[in-house]
Amino acid sequence: MSGLVLDPVLVARARELARRAAEPVVELARRHTTVSVERAVLRLAGLTGTDPVTGEGSAGDEQSVGRVPWVNRVVDAVRDQVGLGSGVALPVWHALASGAAPGLQALAEQVGAGTARFSVPAGADAERARDAARDAVAAGIARIDANRTRREELVATLGDPPRRPWIYLIVATGDIHEDIPQAQAAARAGADVIAVIRSTGQSLLDYVPEGATRTGYAGTYATGENFRLMRAALDDVGVELGRYVRLTNYASGLCMPEIAVLAGLERLDMMLNDAMYGILFRDINPRRTFVDQRFSRMVHARAGIIINTGEDNYLTTADAVDEAHTVTVSQLLNETLAKEAGLEDWQLGLGHAFEIDPDVPESFRLELAHALLARSLFPDAPLKWMPPTKHMTGDVFRGYLLDGFFNLAGALTGQGILLVGMMTEAVVTPWLSDRDLALRNVRYVLDAAGNLAEDFAPPAGGFIDRRADTVLREAVDLLGRIADHPEGLIQAIADGTFGITKRSPDGGRGLDGVVATGPDAYNPALELLEREVSRA
């Protein structure tokens, strides 16, 4: 496709500044762990289930929202007895090697009964615990590897959608058993990617519910069983349609590492995984978020999962013209942090959005400039293009037209993932009939436009070229200010740089779950995942 000819010196400068700006949070993540990272280690080793005597419900209930998972119980017990500075693996596998319990499940039940005792081993005992922990976690990573291979086999057998961008559609009723037929119907109507949005507030839960759930609010709980059920349903409809249908969920919030592991274990294909979304829009502590996101992205890298970032959210709180450069800055920072964690270009679903006020003169040309800048900066990334929401009104005809313009911008600028916009977006919860009309809109525009992107080449020095250059230069200036500050990105967030939202380094939820690691710290998952990253 045709693109903008960006100043290569300016682009190189932008990426170098992004690396410098991100460096402090990378170092922060390397020197700390969190309760969710440690729980993810236990999940990779096979520990599942909830404590049947705590919270609401009983052991036989289908839904476990409110019951405490065993991984939480074990990590909390280790933290209370010996701290988490050494990680959870050494104390847990030392207890197992010492004969305290025959396996993880039995040890967890001892924790529930209050009889488990943990200590941090040294010398030969520590080596024995490391070896056992590494073997246990390696089995979980082998399952993730097998799922990646299975995805590749299914894509080779069934085939990918016949064109780009992929059509991405949200399905979430709160009841996984209702989501399934709706998701299959959406795939039959043309959706290539099904996103199951999470129940409102799940990102603020410091545990992952267990099992199939039926009572989510404005979304469906992200659980391992819900992932498994939807994956199987989309595999079935994929065989029927003769194309692989991708599944998306959300690896964000306080349990980002655990949900990333569950996604790998159940063969999800995309995950919402932005470096700053939880900080800005859910008030989750910055330190907690940056430690968790590095681990989660390493899991996604290994699993072959495409991440979707959330730059579009900035434009719901900030002006899409005045603050366009902050989207570019965030994209460059997300790219830097993702690649440091081992993700490749084809896995970077960097976000941007069609959110300029349609009453602004030449708004469509501005939208094209911003979209084409992103496409030209990240030519090998499957960018995720988000539809208008902020300026949607009760005028459904105007809204339908705006979505058509959004779809046309996606076709013109070669976007990779196109989230279906609906004419009642941000006004009411869309009806199924709205979804059907929206899918007709996007299919018509994409089919009619064909490969129009190869014909679209804005002239050098023209309106679009000048606007893109202005945004890129503003982004470089901002990245320079962030990189020159000793605290880098964390201070930029505190200053309200993104989405005009200020978040203190010491504020927000989850800070109490961040732990500085000691000299004897051991995380077998990090060891295995970092070994793979170092080979890349």
Within a domain: residue 519?
no
Answer with the residue of higher pLDDT: 499 or 9.
Answer: 9
The answer to whether residues 199 and 320 belong to one domain is: yes
- Position 42 pLDDT exceeds 70: yes
- Position 61 pLDDT exceeds 50: no
The answer to whether residues 312 and 188 belong to one domain is: yes
The answer to whether residues 280 and 428 belong to one domain is: yes
Question: 20 is in which domain, residue-wise?
Answer: 8-26+160-470
Within a domain: residue 263?
yes
The answer to whether residues 336 and 293 belong to one domain is: yes
pLDDT score for 60:
37
Answer with the residue of higher pLDDT: 411 or 500.
Answer: 411
Which of 470, 491, 511 lies at the terminal end of a domain, its last residue? 470
312 tagged catalytic: yes
Mean pLDDT of 201-230: 95
What are the phi and psi torsion angles at 493 (to 5°)? -65, -40
Within a domain: residue 12?
yes
Dihedral sign for Cα 440, 446, 447, 449, please: positive
Structure tokens at 38: 């440690």
Helix (H) / strand (E) containing 525: helix 524-535
- Position 151 pLDDT exceeds 50: yes
CATH number at residue 399: 3.20.20.440
Would you call the peptide bond into 165 cis, given omega within 30 degrees of 0 as the criterion? yes
pTM summary value: 0.95
The answer to whether residues 178 and 133 belong to one domain is: no
d(CA 215, CA 95): 38
Q: What pLDDT digit, counting tens, does each position of 96-134 carry?
A: 999 999 999 999 999 999 999 999 999 999 999 999 999
Pick the closest to residue 382 from 340, 313, 335 (CA basis): 335
- Position 152 pLDDT exceeds 50: yes
The answer to whether residues 365 and 256 belong to one domain is: yes
Would you place residue 1 in the very low, low, confident or very high pLDDT band (cuts 50, 70, 90)? low
The answer to whether residues 127 and 234 belong to one domain is: no
The answer to whether residues 62 and 109 belong to one domain is: yes
Mean pLDDT of 217-239: 96
**Annotated active-site residue in 244, 384, 403, 469:** 384
444 tagged catalytic: no
Pick the closest to residue 442 from 238, 185, 159, 190 (CA basis): 190
The answer to whether residues 20 and 72 belong to one domain is: no
The answer to whether residues 192 and 127 belong to one domain is: no
pLDDT score for 3:
76
What are the phi and psi torsion angles at 246 (to 5°)? -85, 150
- Position 209 pLDDT exceeds 70: yes
Output DSSP code: residue 455.
G
Site of tokens 């366009």? 324
Mean pLDDT of 33-51: 97
Exposure letters 144-154 (e unless 16+ CB within 10 A, then b): bbebbeebeeb
Within a domain: residue 481?
no
Which of 85, 108, 138 lies at the terminal end of a domain, its last residue? 138
**Percent of the chain residues topping a pLDDT of 70:** 96
Within a domain: residue 527?
no
Asked whether the beta carbons of 435 and 422 are under 8 A apart, the reply is yes
C-alpha pair distances (Å), 34 with each of 72, 83, 85, 490: 12, 11, 10, 18
**Annotated active-site residue in 168, 277, 314, 522:** 277
Q: What pLDDT digit, counting tens, does each position of 352-361 carry?
A: 999 999 999 9
The answer to whether residues 121 and 218 belong to one domain is: no
- Position 534 pLDDT exceeds 70: no
Within a domain: residue 496?
no
Q: What pLDDT digit, counting tens, does each position of 326-352 carry?
A: 999 999 999 999 999 999 999 999 999
What are the phi and psi torsion angles at 83 (to 5°)? 85, 165
What end-to-end distance do the CA atoms of the chain give, in Å? 28
**Annotated active-site residue in 192, 312, 403, 469:** 312
Which of 415, 449, 470 lies at the terminal end of a domain, its last residue? 470
The answer to whether residues 14 and 129 belong to one domain is: no
- Position 58 pLDDT exceeds 50: no
Most confident of 43-57, 429-443, 453-467: 453-467
Answer with the residue of higher pLDDT: 429 or 2.
Answer: 429
SS3 annotation, 106-118: HHHHHHHHCCCCC
Within a domain: residue 515?
no
d(CA 405, CA 395): 16
| Long-range contacts formed by 151-154: CB under 8 A, 24+ apart | 151/244, 151/267, 151/269, 151/304, 152/304, 154/235, 154/238, 154/244
pLDDT score for 433:
85
Mean pLDDT of 308-335: 91
pLDDT score for 533:
63
DSSP assignments along 187-243, one per residue: HHTT-SEEE-PPPTTGGG-SS---S-----SSS----HHHHHHHHHHHHHHHHHHTS
Alpha helix (H) ranges present in 432-462?
432-449
- Position 315 pLDDT exceeds 90: no
Most confident of 421-425, 484-488, 515-519: 515-519
Asked whether the beta carbons of 257 and 271 are under 8 A apart, the reply is no
Query: Any residues with CB less than 8 A from the CB of 70 and at least 6 apart, and which?
Result: 42, 47, 48, 49, 50, 51, 105, 108, 111, 112
Average pLDDT, the chain: 93
269 tagged catalytic: no
Indicate the angle between helix axes 463-484 and 8-30, nearest 10 degrees: 40
Give the pairing type, strands 166-170 and 417-419: parallel
Within a domain: residue 320?
yes
Q: Is 450 helix (H, G, I), strand (E, B) or coil?
A: coil
Asked whether the beta carbons of 336 and 377 are under 8 A apart, the reply is no
Count up the domains in the chain and report the number: 2
